[in-house]
């Protein structure tokens, strides 16, 4: 039997963990040459970490990955790719001509992960049977599909995915108990994700994490580096065009300023421009750093995302004061003013001692058999034609079958017998609609705060029309062929619905007339 590993592929850094079956625990993997040591802010609680910088260089027939790129002085080369995940998430391939060959960020990501997996195999000393990948909370389906395609190429028997906030709930040693509510604040190189998570224990060692509130934005440490760079150029009366020939060097320098100010109150930067014969320099304090963050609206963005996650969790009866721990992860979570903001909002609840490895540890535990539940964020309904007085009325309605808040994965979430609309009907189209903003029963839920009871309450009001219903399988319609053709009004097919661990809605269809299974566990559309 092969081994299982977890990979947390981040915008700036990547971490790997191997599940040790003998010990029944995860082990962090250090790949010599590729890994870089990162300082942990609380060495007495957790040791310093070795992470792999998410960067790759194509040097002729040689591929350099991670720290190797820096050791060879190739970090600023035209043939070097960084921020790979961010470009893939945004579907920006931006191919480059390298040695007569077009290489995109998709290609570079594939090479990067292939190099990691290849070296991990040597460390594991056995075939890797399964890989668990972590995904940002709002990752697009194309990103997950890209991961799946890679696993086929890498000859991986099986792969799974887990969203990063939920993985953190498994991996953080916060002493959580059954029913605890925690918040995961994930602020990395490319994204900021906040999730409110409920812990459920169904037995010894069997932990479930249910995500009850989410919020996120495409902002991270890379953006902060850009803001510092803009300030640096302004102080030196320069534009980006003036320093384009050393822009990468400057970006590395401002990143070091950001990191230094996470541990020290002052930091300085000096870069010599040998083309123009000028010294580009600036002194920074934490106060100045905070001014830059304020100017670029970072703290307001963080507050909005916190509010989004809290409001969504409040719809499920979870209040701010119910949150037991706030778990901070990601390199950007080390910024003192960011941590201070959360401490003011959640006094005595902050845990920040595993910013780099909590996610990959949790993903590894999940892959070892721990169960994770998540929920569907919208109501879904099935469009159907209406029969009146034993005849087709020419009108249609919507049958709700997946309510918002449904946990997944789940089998047999709904089952219908569907009538034929007209005599001689040769096919039935399944039309799946997402009801956004209200449920599919034409009711609108609104949240109000009752100060007397210190509780959020849900009130329902009637709404009209179906303007908020969106056809979600329009690009991938599902047609069910009827052979022989159906009689009008005949209950011709039975459709069973399930939702898998990747949020894919699947169907099993039986033709009742001929007692034949037409589809078995067929994917239809990915739900939100």
Q: Residues 291-327: pLDDT tens digits?
A: 999 999 999 999 999 999 999 999 999 999 999 999 9
What confidence score (pLDDT) does residue 244 get? 86
What confidence score (pLDDT) does residue 344 get? 94
What confidence score (pLDDT) does residue 461 get? 36
Query: CA distances (Å), 126 to each of 26, 119, 129, 156, 497, in order?
Result: 16, 11, 9, 12, 38
CA proximity to 215, closest of 299, 303, 141: 303
Q: Are the CB atoms for 236 and 282 separated by under 8 Å?
A: yes
Block residue for tokens 């970090």:
75
Q: Are the CB atoms for 312 and 304 separated by under 8 Å?
A: no
- What are the structure tokens assigned to 255, written together? 């990143």
DSSP 3-state assignment of 313? helix
CA proximity to 199, closest of 184, 216, 221, 185: 184
- For the chain, the structural domain boundaries read 1-173+354-375, 376-526
- What are the structure tokens assigned to 442, written together? 């034409």
HSE (side-chain half, CA atoms, 13 Å) at 252: 11
What confidence score (pLDDT) does residue 306 get? 95
Instruction: For 358-409, write each residue's pLDDT tens digit.
Output: 999 989 988 887 544 556 778 899 887 665 555 555 677 888 889 877 877 7
Q: Are the CB atoms for 315 and 379 separated by under 8 Å?
A: no
Q: Are the CB atoms for 24 and 118 separated by under 8 Å?
A: no
- What are the structure tokens assigned to 51, written together? 């992470």
376-526 has which CATH code? 2.60.34
- Which residues, including other chains, have CB under 8 Å from residue 499's CB and lie 6 or more apart? 376, 402, 406, 408, 409, 410, 413, 505, 506, 527
User: What's the CATH class of domain 1-173+354-375?
Assistant: alpha beta
- What is the DSSP secondary structure assignment for residue 173, as one 8-state letter? -
What confidence score (pLDDT) does residue 132 get? 92
Report, as ranges of residue numbers, the positions in the chain whose pLDDT lies below 70: 1, 39-48, 93, 137-140, 173-176, 201-209, 370-375, 385-394, 436-467
């Amino acid at each position: 039997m092969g081994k299982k590993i977890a990979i947390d592929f981040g915008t700036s850094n990547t971490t790997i963990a191997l599940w040790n079956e003998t010990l029944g625990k995860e082990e962090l993997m250090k790949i010599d040459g590729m890994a870089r040591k990162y300082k942990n802010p609380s060495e007495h609680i957790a040791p310093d970490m070795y992470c792999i910088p998410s960067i790759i260089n194509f040097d002729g027939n040689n591929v350099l990955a991670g720290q190797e790129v820096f050791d060879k002085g190739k970090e600023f080369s035209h043939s070097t790719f960084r921020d790979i995940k961010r470009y893939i998430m945004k579907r920006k391939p931006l191919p480059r001509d390298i040695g007569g060959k077009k290489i995109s960020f998709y290609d570079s990501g594939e090479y990067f992960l292939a190099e990691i997996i290849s070296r991990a195999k040597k460390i594991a000393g056995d075939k890797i049977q399964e890989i668990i990948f972590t995904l940002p909370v709002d990752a697009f389906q194309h990103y997950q599909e890209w991961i799946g395609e890679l696993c086929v190429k890498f000859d991986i028997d099986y792969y799974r995915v887990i969203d990063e906030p939920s993985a953190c709930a498994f991996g953080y040693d916060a002493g959580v108990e059954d029913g605890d509510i925690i918040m995961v604040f994930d602020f990395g190189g490319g994204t900021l994700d906040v999730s409110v998570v409920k812990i459920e224990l169904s037995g010894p060692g069997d932990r479930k994490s249910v995500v009850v509130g989410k919020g996120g934005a495409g902002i991270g440490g890379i953006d902060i580096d850009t803001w510092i760079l803009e300030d640096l150029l302004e102080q030196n009366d320069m534009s980006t065009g003036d320093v384009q020939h050393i822009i990468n060097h400057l970006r590395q320098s401002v990143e070091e300023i950001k990191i230094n100010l996470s541990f020290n109150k002052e930091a300085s930067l000096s870069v010599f421009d040998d083309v123009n014969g000028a010294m580009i320099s600036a002194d920074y304090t934490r106060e100045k750093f905070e001014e830059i963050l304020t100017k670029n609206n970072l703290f307001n963005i963080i507050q909005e995302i916190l509010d989004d996650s809290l409001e969504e969790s409040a719809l499920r009866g979870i209040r701010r004061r119910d949150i037991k721990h706030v778990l901070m992860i990601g390199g950007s979570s080390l910024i003192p003013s960011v941590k201070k903001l959360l401490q003011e909002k959640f006094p005595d609840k902050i845990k920040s001692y595993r910013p780099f490895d909590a996610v990959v540890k949790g993903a590894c535990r999940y892959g070892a058999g721990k169960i994770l539940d998540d929920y569907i964020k919208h109501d879904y309904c099935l469009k159907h034609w209406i029969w009146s007085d034993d005849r087709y009325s020419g009108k249609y309605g919507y049958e709700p079958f997946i309510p918002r808040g449904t946990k997944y994965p789940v089998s047999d979430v709904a089952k219908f017998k569907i009538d034929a609309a007209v005599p001689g009907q040769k096919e039935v189209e399944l039309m799946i609609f997402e009801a956004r903003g209200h449920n599919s029963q034409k009711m609108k839920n609104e949240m109000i705060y009752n100060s007397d009871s210190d509780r959020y309450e849900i009130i329902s009001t009637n709404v009209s029309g179906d303007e908020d219903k969106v056809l979600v399988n329009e690009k991938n319609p599902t047609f069910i062929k009827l052979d022989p053709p159906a009689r009008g009004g005949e209950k011709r097919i039975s459709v069973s619905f399930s939702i898998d661990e990747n949020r894919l809605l699947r169907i099993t269809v039986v033709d009742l007339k001929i007692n034949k299974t037409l589809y078995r566990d067929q994917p239809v559309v990915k739900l939100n």
